[in-house]
Amino acid sequence: MAQYLPPPEIIAQLGLIFVVFNMLVLSAAFMVWMERKVCAYIQDREGPNRVGFEGVLQPFADVIKLLFKEQLKPKAADTVLFALAPLISTTAAFAAFSVVPFGTETTLFGLLEHPIPLEVTDVNVAVLVIFAITSMGIYGIVLAGWSSNSKYSLLGGLRSSAQMISYELSYGLAMAAVIMMAGSLSLREIVTNQSGYWFHVIPRWYLFLQPLGFFIYLCAGVAETNRAPFDFPEAEQELVAGYHTEYSSMSFAMFFLAEYVNMVTVSAVATSLYLGGWLGPFLPSWLGWVWFLVKVFLILFFYVWMRWTLPRYRYDQLMEFGWKWLLPAAVLNLFATAAVVLWIG
């Protein structure tokens, strides 16, 4: 029987893909629950507490409700593009996570001969791949805005995509500074460069070497995902619901899912670039993915906390911040990093 099975490496690779995909979907569900609970406690109330223990099954109830809703399409909407937009958003969101490493090499308890790294694929231009796939996600929003053939959608879509394009520059420049310090585009190498401690206590994270870069990256990441103070394009008080006004049922669920998975990807890349990825004390190296999950969870909590604490930027304030403050700061950060790297290295 064993000779009819594919080689164990293929099974392990398929298993990795299965695990990563399901973890992303489950983390989106977890984010729905966490957002509602944290929002509730910030607003001095309890949040969902009926559907499971402390409302843990609420996201699943939401998905079942969305499944049973009627799928609407405006009569004058462009059918092909209307159906294609949520697909592009969701595919880009999931594909970007494929190059993020979440653990050291493991032999899966000795089942494999050669250890496999814990990521879906190990590319030596991983940072650029993430950047590329994130820029493809813009099409989902632009097409959703345009093909819905509605004023709110079009304005929301255009504003949202203009915002994403503007903040991509600072996003890339912040990443470029880390790449310069690490000397490599591979996320795995960037994380392994952060191993070790200064004075046996402080870990060698790039967060301590690049505090401005971390701040720029987080700001740009929050703006990229249309969240927290930068969510003018989908603010309910302004544009009904922006680019996903005309979507219902599973298409809306796909946009929802894409937004949360994008948040998870931005947090995962932030932990790999600045917080030392899967490295951490006390646990053996093959349990590194636990530290990875802890760090990603911290950044996601910060995201949710920011959303329900800060008022949102007006659109022109948002664009001014992105172009006149964040971009020059990112360029200065890059110059300073280059100077220091040349001086030391």
Partner 1 sequence: MSYYAFYVFAFIAIVSSLLVVGQKNPMHSVMLLIASFGALAGLYVLLDAPFTAVTQIIVYAGAIMVLFLFVVMLLNVPREEPTPASVSALLGPTGMRVGVVLSLLLAAEVVWAMSRVGVGVFSQGPGTASVSSVALIGRALFTRHAFAFEATSVLILVAMVGAVVLARREQH
Tell me whether residue 143 or residue 191 sits nearer to partner 1 (CB atom). 143
Tell me whether residue 176 or residue 279 sits nearer to partner 1 (CB atom). 176
Tell me whether residue 124 or residue 195 sits nearer to partner 1 (CB atom). 124
Question: What are the b/e assignments for 37-71, b being 16+ CB within 10 Å?
Answer: bbebeeeeeebbeeeeeebebbbeebbeebeeeee
Three-state DSSP state, 202: strand
Q: How far is the CB of 147 from partner 1 (least distance, A)?
A: 8
According to the binding rule CB under 8 A, does residue 100 interact with partner 1?
no
According to the binding rule CB under 8 A, does residue 128 interact with partner 1?
yes
Size of the site for partner 1 (CB under 8 A): 23
According to the binding rule CB under 8 A, does residue 331 interact with partner 1?
no
According to the binding rule CB under 8 A, does residue 142 interact with partner 1?
yes
Three-state DSSP state, 308: coil
Q: Which of residues 50-89 bind partner 1 (CB under 8 A)?
A: 78, 80-81, 84
Task: Report the residue from 17, 26, 132, 332 that binds partner 1 according to the rule CB under 8 A.
Answer: 132
Give the C-alpha separation, 97 to 27, whole Å. 13
User: Of 23-31, 123-131, 204-212, 217-225, which segment contacts partner 1 by CB under 8 A?
Assistant: 123-131
109, containing H or E segment: none
Instruction: State the sign of the Cα–Cα–Cα–Cα dihedral 159, 160, 161, 165.
Output: positive
Task: Report the residue from 16, 24, 133, 327 that binds partner 1 according to the rule CB under 8 A.
Answer: 133
Question: What are the b/e assignments for 145-173, b being 16+ CB within 10 Å?
Answer: bbbbbbebbbbbbbbbbbbbebbbbbbbb
Tell me whether residue 142 or residue 207 sits nearer to partner 1 (CB atom). 142
Q: In 98-243, which residue ranges form alpha helices assigned H by DSSP?
A: 126-147, 151-182, 187-192, 206-209, 211-224, 236-239
Tokens 């490493």: give the residue.
101
**Interface with partner 1 (CB under 8 A):** 78, 80-81, 84, 123-125, 128-129, 131-133, 135-136, 138-139, 142-143, 146-147, 161, 165, 185
